Structure 1
Amino acid sequence: MDQATKKTVKTFCYQCVAGPDLMEIEVENGTATRVEALYGIQDAHPGGGRVCVKAYGLIQKTYNPHRIKAPMKRTNPIKSKDQDPGFVEISWDEALEIISEKLKNIIATGLTDSSGYPRVAASFGGGGTPTQYMGTFPAFLSAIGNVDLGFGAGQGVKCYHSEHLYGELWHRAFIVAPDTPRVNYILSCGHNGDASTGVAGIWRHADARDRGMKRVQVEPHLSVTGAVSAEWIPIKPKTDAAFLYGVLNRIICERDWREVCDIPFLTEDTNAPYLIAPNGYYLRDPKTKKPMILDLADNKAKPFDADITDPAMEGSFKLSGLEIGADDQTWDHQTAEVKPAFQLLIEHIKPYTPEWAAKECDVPADQIRTVGDEFLGQACIGDTIEIDGETLPYRPVAVLLGKTVNNGWGGYNCCWARTLLLCLVGALEVPGGMMGTNVKLNRPGHNRFASAVKGPDGFMNYPFNETSKEKWNSDPHIRNAYRTLVPLAADSAWSAALGPAHLPWLFQKKPPENWPVPTKPDIWFCYRTNPAISSWDAPEVAKRVAEFPFIVAFAYTHDETNHFADILLPEATDLESLQLIQVGGTKYVEQFWTQQGWTIRQPAVDKTVDSMDMTDIATELAYRSGIIEGYNK
């Protein structure tokens, strides 16, 4: 081959949350032929410049003969799985004009319908990655002004849904990761990291195993990750919570927790010593209304931030104080029986013995005890480590949960048990232990430390959606009603996706009593997602999709969802399109950068079909719909 016909083009792959991987595309005679690593940036890239295997599929993706080759419109008005849509090719001008005319009508007549819902809706797939390859389409949606992002694309089925919500509440952790370079023991419940964490994650864990880190893989089948772990423990599907509760029981009830737990961490960084009043809320100081702790040094209950020498962790006490419940209901207690929160934890965990857990999860009781003992033995309680001149606690143990473990039924219990295990040994947010990597519900989203604002009771403040009688959002503003139904969902740009995203599909057929009429959006944009097969009740979702009056699907190939579309728009693939994105900081699956900066995805080859770059599509739609000024802002 004449070298003059060859060239290389630098770009990136962001097909999943393990990205971005920066790379070069080798092009011969205008055809992409190879994907090459960028070893020249090995000191900056978390994966040492290497490229994940998924990136190699971008060549196949670009030259797939089954791609939608031009914009298409439906000619059969009947939307049904057993009906041929009758798609016919049309020009980009016609396709964009059809869409923009509908948008102009919506903008002119009002963005919300009679139920108060947005008349424009959009759903994205890809677990938080679409903004890395959808160009300026988010700016286009923002320029419209009111868009319902609450129709789910399968959230909860295929993502870390519980971990996102509870993790952000407990320690600002939309996603958690072990301090892999320093951790010595990982208890992994179904976390298949060696198949899903990309170059950086797999590399880090391989190095950790090489230096002696032990990973115990608990899962029903032997995965790739289990195969390279030190130990595989088979378990009955969806019983991980029982297993983890058995481990908790071993540590708290069977072992002497005073000897094996990190008492300073529990007393100083958790609510373990906080006194709980008879109705289940904190016992508060009547003057300051702060939660109280019993100081055994002088046998007095004091506000949590007072000078406390010996906080009570167990027992029952007769004390006076104020209890504040829901909707500011108050109880003025005089010598009521109260207990430290840790005492209630002991009582709560006591029934969940290893024998009980063994019957539930099929893991032998002795093996559950062994895991608990190993976890304690590797926790190095009391040890410290010096990093950049700072002396910090060193707790080299971690617990990972797989996707199906921490979502669905039992998801909360698994997340709670995992976080509690780490708290018992002080391995949360310390070197060697388990750490959050980013935030999406709390703000600012680019700096999780800045999002950690002190609250009134000694914990981080959290932007709960209101639940009080006066301020509760009784009228849903979008169809999944996250402000109304989910206090934990907060109200950020990510909240709609982390709300009850399956409910809009269900409510289209059978809404709750006294619920606004579940109207259908006038336009639904469907981008890189296929909810007709990826949702909890996929056949039912497909029926609801078929009822939507007008669907615009960004289509790569024909699929189960865009089968019901009115317009198909073939976007340019990653090797054909242009986008600038920001990189740096900590993000997902151990893709941790030590530098901040920007990287560009640039076209390596000409478009192979009559497709269009997402930014060009968004710009054209904004211009034709009359919202170009807002779009440019």
Structure 2
Amino acid sequence: MSESGLNISRRGFVAGAGAAALTAGLAGCASGTAEKEGTDLASTSPEKMAYDPNEGEWIPTTCNMCFNNCSIKAHVVDGVVVELTGNSDSSIGRGHICGKGAAGIMMLYDPNRITKPMKRTNPKKGFDEDPGWEEISWDEAYELVDTNVKAAIERSGPHAVTGMSMVASQIGSLVRHTALGVIYGNAEGSCSDICGAGVHQLEYLLTGTGNARPDYLNCNYVVQFGTNAGTATRHGFNMTAEIFADRRREGLRHVVFDPHMGAAGEKADLWVPIRPGTDAAAALAIANVLVEEGLIDVEFLKTRTNSPSLVDVATGRILFDEATGKSLYMDADGTPKTYDVCADPQLEGAFEVNGKQCKTGFTLYKEHVAKYTPEYQEEITTVPAATIRRIAKELGEAACIGQTTTVDGVELPYRPAAVDGFSGITRHKHAFHACWAVFTLNNLIGSTNAVGGFCGFDPICNGWADGNPNMAWKPGIWEPEGLIDCAGLLLAFPNSYYKKVYESDYTPTTMGMLEIQPISEDNHFEHVAQAHPDLYHTQAAEVAFCYACNPIKWWGNYDEQAEIFKNYTYVVGIDMFLNESSYFYDVILPECCYLERTEPLPHASGNHRVIGGLHNPWTVPVWQKVVEPRDGAPSSWELFGELANRAGKNAEFISTLNMMFRVKEEYSVPLDQKLDVEAFADSVLKSNIDEEHDFAWLKEHGVYDHPRTVDEVYIWANGEPGRVPMYFDFMLEAKGKVEAKAAELDIPWETDDYQALPDWKPGCGHEITDPDYDILPVYHTDAINTDSWLMENPYVNEINEENPYGYTIEMNAATAATKGLATGDKVRLSTQEGVSVEGVLATSEGVHTECVSVIGGHWGSKSKYMPHALDKGVPVVHLVPGQTPERMDHICSAFDQCIRVKIEKIA
């Protein structure tokens, strides 16, 4: 295969989707009806169609142009997809399709797609090296994978192989991990920086599930930190946008803290530009005002948090009753009692208990946030003190503290105010503290798990069908403090951070070192350990198995990543396109397009990307192929199933999948045969719904719904027990154990962030050490680009090109003027270490004065096989050292992307 690639415009591409182009050489596609002259097939407007809407079939399936996986319908005429629309029958997307989704037709028929396996013939690897791709048979491809993986494992054991996957295909990632585990005993894996490190953990702790959101339908005041949720991005975006917009028209007030005025800030009542990495200081200042002004929900803090816990002032540890092992509160009668029998716990106060000087957890919290005055935070964040006071007062008043409402006949607390955040506050060191400071504001006003407040997507499920609780879960209780546990993010099996902290072995078993990070979920530390195996006494992987991702560009400086990949003895790639990482692959196995494949249960068990709420039922959508795969390319399920079959591991592979997806024994597919994906999907539905709603039924109807009940949405609706933490005693327990294990292993490990109350701490790049390097580059996403697979798509590319800020470096106009810069200037951003990127400047009022901002910080493709994406955009993440342990948050594995740069005009 040559390195030329085809380069066509969106309109030319669309024209090529008609019969003429299809019969002229788009392999694997039947001819279709010629389009009318000038008609754009990417349009989803019902009044302008290239084809009669009554012609052909409208086939329901699932979009995979980003990880939200909205329900869609494909209009198929004579075996050709001519249009994609949202599926109005499904709550997942609510009938909407975004620009990315509409552009999916271009991914399907992109002539630059790879559809046949290939192997490298040039042993030299690098961005400037032609791999010399040679087409091979599928038998040879599978044999190369199996031989090289087995050879590495025979040399060095199962940890010699690491798996990599992207969030855009989370179920595929689960299947990849499962297959490598059962076939090769592999346990290694890493993931990209695109995740909610810190966010998910706090949401687990506070809502019982790993994703949470404002109860948009009932909320009147939303404060967002570092997220465009509901306006341009994030989980269930197409589900949220309409509801959020309606509520805004009805008076919901919206405040956004963000260095860049993205879609959320643009539409908000108030955009608050904030210095990157300082969100915790602003949140703690809001807490200061809420506490000082008495705008707190005392009853909630007393009965639904551990705020009344008696804390030994000398040690900072909560007191526990020796007989029962439960935490002690001070009752109104002056007697310390366990939390579960204390009639009237005292929220504040200092006491002597068993000869120890004690204060309540809330008293210590109040004393702790006292220093975070609005004036104090202003020096840190640049946010005016008056702005903080205004927001805090509005938030506290909007919470309607003390009020109740009735939902489905159940009287519940009504707290129509919520504070939300996402990845903007996690791209930093001390990310856990930032998320902690932000989300516990909901505790102060009593909105955690309340009507109108901050609620989990799916904290409880009673089953997907009446009388069938097979797919069911609810948070358990950590008895020593009465705190709620949680259910896992994707498969919703029981999970407990407290159990991990108090009972687990902290000895790392993989490069991800998760055991010594008991409050982390992400294998981000593998990036550091792979580069420094001697420092951490880990085993560097020899083979990388890369599924549906671009790992050269998903973590810091690309040249550093390239060196890591050069050092692997063998790299396997599974993808649809030859991206930058493919320059380092030894063999590549193509996966078919999402419109050409069937996948069981695309939203897993926990409906990870479905925003929940009573108005959104439990929805099981179909993901079925709508056209035959070009050149017979397999889906990831089929590919991994084939590997398991060749290894004689069908029983192990299928049994593990049965456990993951809760398949009942009587519905299991045969264990002695290669996995049949459609039959497996059938077994999942019969097990978790009923025999009537099998896969044949779902293929025809597109979606299965089951109504949620009030207790599934508001976890304490039935008076269930459970609290959430305000004083994090378990962090001090973890600190001691982590320090002991690090000393035993003789490895460096930061433990200063293990404390019982949240703080703001300066991260990388906070201070200006050289006045020439005074700019902080940040990146943001918009609706067309968020969590997208790639910019190679002609439609997406054209939208970005027409956006004046699409592929540019956006800078505050006043700051630019002081530096003698203007819109249209070509500029260079460079670090003190000499790393640089270049781009064209575009000035605006929508950027913090100390920042420049770009869309999609990982852009700037180096792959000549992707001509539309080649050299487009500015990859500011390349400026960030990716293998420096000091940039890691050692609590939740977040990665600090703040770095000071110099900006200068170039000829």
TM-score tier, shorter chain, comes to 0.7 to 0.9
Q: Is the 8 A contact 2:199 2:423 kept in 1?
A: no
Give the letter aligned to residue 68 of structure 1: I
For the structure 1 residues 139 and 600, does the alpha-carbon distance in structure 2 shift closer, same or farther, using more than 3 Å as the test?
farther
1:481 aligned to 2:492?
A: no
Per the alignment, residue 472 of structure 1 pairs with: 505
Alignment counterpart, residue 272 of structure 2, candidates 220, 233, 243: 233
Per the alignment, residue 299 of structure 1 pairs with: 334
Structure-to-structure mapping, 1:5-404, within 5 angstroms: 6-19=56-69, 21-39=70-88, 41=89, 44-103=90-149, 109=154, 114=156, 118-126=159-167, 129-131=169-171, 137=176, 140-144=179-183, 146-152=185-191, 154-155=192-193, 158-193=194-229, 194-197=231-234, 198-253=237-292, 255=293, 257=294, 260-277=295-312, 278-295=314-331, 297-309=332-344, 311-320=345-354, 334=355, 336-404=356-424
- The answer for unaligned runs of 5 or more in structure 2 is 1-32, 35-51, 461-468, 486-495, 656-907
Per the alignment, residue 794 of structure 2 pairs with: none
Deviations 1:409-429 (A, max 9, x none): 242222212232111111000
Deviations 1:90-120 (A, max 9, x none): 122221222233456578x5xxx65x65333
Q: Is the 8 A contact 1:70 1:569 kept in 2?
A: yes
Q: Is the 8 A contact 1:585 1:595 kept in 2?
A: no
Per the alignment, residue 725 of structure 2 pairs with: none
Query: Aligned to 1:141, what secondary structure does the other structure show?
Result: helix
Deviations 1:358-417 (A, max 9, x none): 111111111110000000110101110101111000000011113121342242222212
Using the alignment, how far apart are the partners of 1:17 and 1:446 within structure 2? Answer: 26
Report how far residue 167 of structure 1 moved: 2.1
Per the alignment, residue 527 of structure 2 pairs with: 505
Q: Is the 8 A contact 1:135 1:579 kept in 2?
A: no
Using the alignment, how far apart are the partners of 1:466 and 1:375 within structure 2? Answer: 35
Q: Is the 8 A contact 1:135 1:614 kept in 2?
A: no
Per the alignment, residue 715 of structure 2 pairs with: none
For the structure 1 residues 528 and 306, does the alpha-carbon distance in structure 2 shift closer, same or farther, using more than 3 Å as the test?
same
Using the alignment, how far apart are the partners of 1:467 and 1:187 within structure 2? Answer: 31
Structure number with greater CO (CA < 8 Å, separation at least 6) is: 1
Deviations 1:268-320 (A, max 9, x none): 1112111111201112334434322222x3322222222433x3333322221
Alignment counterpart, residue 583 of structure 2, candidates 563, 581, 592: 563
Using the alignment, how far apart are the partners of 2:371 and 2:425 within structure 1? Answer: 22
Structure-to-structure mapping, 1:478-557, within 5 angstroms: 478-483=510-515, 485-489=516-520, 498-499=521-522, 501-511=523-533, 513=535, 515-521=536-542, 523-557=543-577
For the structure 1 residues 585 and 284, does the alpha-carbon distance in structure 2 shift closer, same or farther, using more than 3 Å as the test?
closer
Equivalent pairs counted in the alignment come to 581
Query: Aligned to 2:167, what secondary structure does the other structure show?
Result: coil
Deviations 1:313-342 (A, max 9, x none): 33322221xxxxxxxxxxxxx2x2211111
Q: 538-547 or 142-151, which moves further after superposition? A: 142-151
Query: Aligned to 1:118, what secondary structure does the other structure show?
Result: helix
Deviations 1:36-58 (A, max 9, x none): 2333x1xx524433323322121
Report how far residue 145 of structure 1 moved: 5.4
Using the alignment, how far apart are the partners of 1:367 and 1:394 within structure 2? Answer: 26
Using the alignment, how far apart are the partners of 1:472 and 1:36 within structure 2? Answer: 50
Report how far residue 192 of structure 1 moved: 0.8
For the structure 1 residues 221 and 385, does the alpha-carbon distance in structure 2 shift closer, same or farther, using more than 3 Å as the test?
same
Using the alignment, how far apart are the partners of 1:223 and 1:121 within structure 2? Answer: 36
Using the alignment, how far apart are the partners of 1:285 and 1:615 within structure 2? Answer: 52
How high is the sequence identity, in percent, across the aligned residues? Answer: 28
Per the alignment, residue 325 of structure 1 pairs with: none
Using the alignment, how far apart are the partners of 1:125 and 1:368 within structure 2? Answer: 37
Query: Aligned to 1:10, what secondary structure does the other structure show?
Result: strand
Using the alignment, how far apart are the partners of 2:306 and 2:612 within structure 1? Answer: 32
For the structure 1 residues 562 and 196, does the alpha-carbon distance in structure 2 shift closer, same or farther, using more than 3 Å as the test?
same
Per the alignment, residue 622 of structure 1 pairs with: 644
Give the letter aligned to residue 539 of structure 1: D
For the structure 1 residues 103 and 355, does the alpha-carbon distance in structure 2 shift closer, same or farther, using more than 3 Å as the test?
closer
Using the alignment, how far apart are the partners of 1:518 and 1:118 within structure 2? Answer: 7
Query: Aligned to 1:208, what secondary structure does the other structure show?
Result: helix
Alignment counterpart, residue 572 of structure 1, candidates 592, 617, 620: 592
Deviations 1:205-256 (A, max 9, x none): 0111121111112222221122222222222222221111111111113x1x
Report how far residue 487 of structure 1 moved: 1.2
Q: Is the 8 A contact 2:164 2:551 kept in 1?
A: no
Give the letter aligned to residue 476 of structure 2: A
Q: Is the 8 A contact 2:76 2:82 kept in 1?
A: yes
For the structure 1 residues 422 and 448, does the alpha-carbon distance in structure 2 shift closer, same or farther, using more than 3 Å as the test?
farther
Query: Aligned to 1:360, what secondary structure does the other structure show?
Result: helix
Per the alignment, residue 587 of structure 1 pairs with: 608
Q: Is the 8 A contact 1:274 1:292 kept in 2?
A: yes
